[in-house]
């Protein structure tokens, strides 16, 4: 499928990512460290490591929202992540995450920050 102009692509993406049925979507930018110091030296961040770190973050957030037994009864948290950056520009995620529990809406930003900062590659700019 090809698009003649950027607005066609934008419309297709908006139709695919329909958040109108979400309870309380939050837009968040999560920045990542560019490298970690380990015993053998510095390890550079790659898109694959960023994706693994994001999955870990979402698992931590899921447990905060639903508890450890939630996997049996609740679907995964709905989110749309987009990774931006390069080895020359700091990697970061632009994410829309839905808060599925109305009673957590006021504390959801703090839960996101707490879970993000528990990951290895998290940078403190959120």
71 three-class SS: helix
DSSP string, 9-45: HHHHHHHHS--TT-SSEEEEEEEB-SEEEETTEEEE-
Q: What local confidence, expressed as pLDDT, does residue 3 receive? A: 66
Answer yes or no: is pLDDT of 1 > 70.
Answer: no
Spatial distance between the Cα atoms of 20 and 87, rounded to a whole number of angstroms: 35
Q: Would you state the pLDDT for residue 31?
A: 97
d(CA 60, CA 43): 23
Q: Are 84 and 91 in contact (CB under 8 A)?
A: yes
Closest CA to 54 of 97, 98, 100, 108: 97
Cβ atoms of 28 and 92 closer than 8 Å: no
Per-residue confidence band for 8, with pLDDT thresholds at 50, 70 and 90: confident
Q: Give the least confident one: 43-47, 52-56, 86-90, 94-98.
A: 86-90
Asked whether the predicted pLDDT for residue 38 surpasses 90, the reply is no
């Amino acid at each position: 499928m090809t698009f003649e102009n950027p607005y066609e692509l934008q419309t297709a993406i908006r139709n695919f990512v329909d958040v109108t049925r979400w309870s309380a979507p939050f837009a968040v930018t999560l920045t990542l460290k560019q490298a970690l110091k380990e015993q053998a030296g510095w390890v550079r961040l790659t898109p694959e490591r960023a994706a693994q770190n994001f999955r870990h973050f979402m698992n931590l957030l899921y447990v905060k929202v639903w508890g450890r037994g939630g996997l049996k009864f609740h679907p995964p948290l709905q989110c749309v992540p987009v990774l931006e950056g390069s080895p020359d520009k700091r990697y970061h995620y632009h994410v829309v995450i839905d808060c599925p529990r109305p009673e957590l809406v006021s504390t959801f930003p703090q839960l996101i920050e707490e879970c993000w900062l528990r990951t290895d590659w998290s940078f403190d700019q959120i």
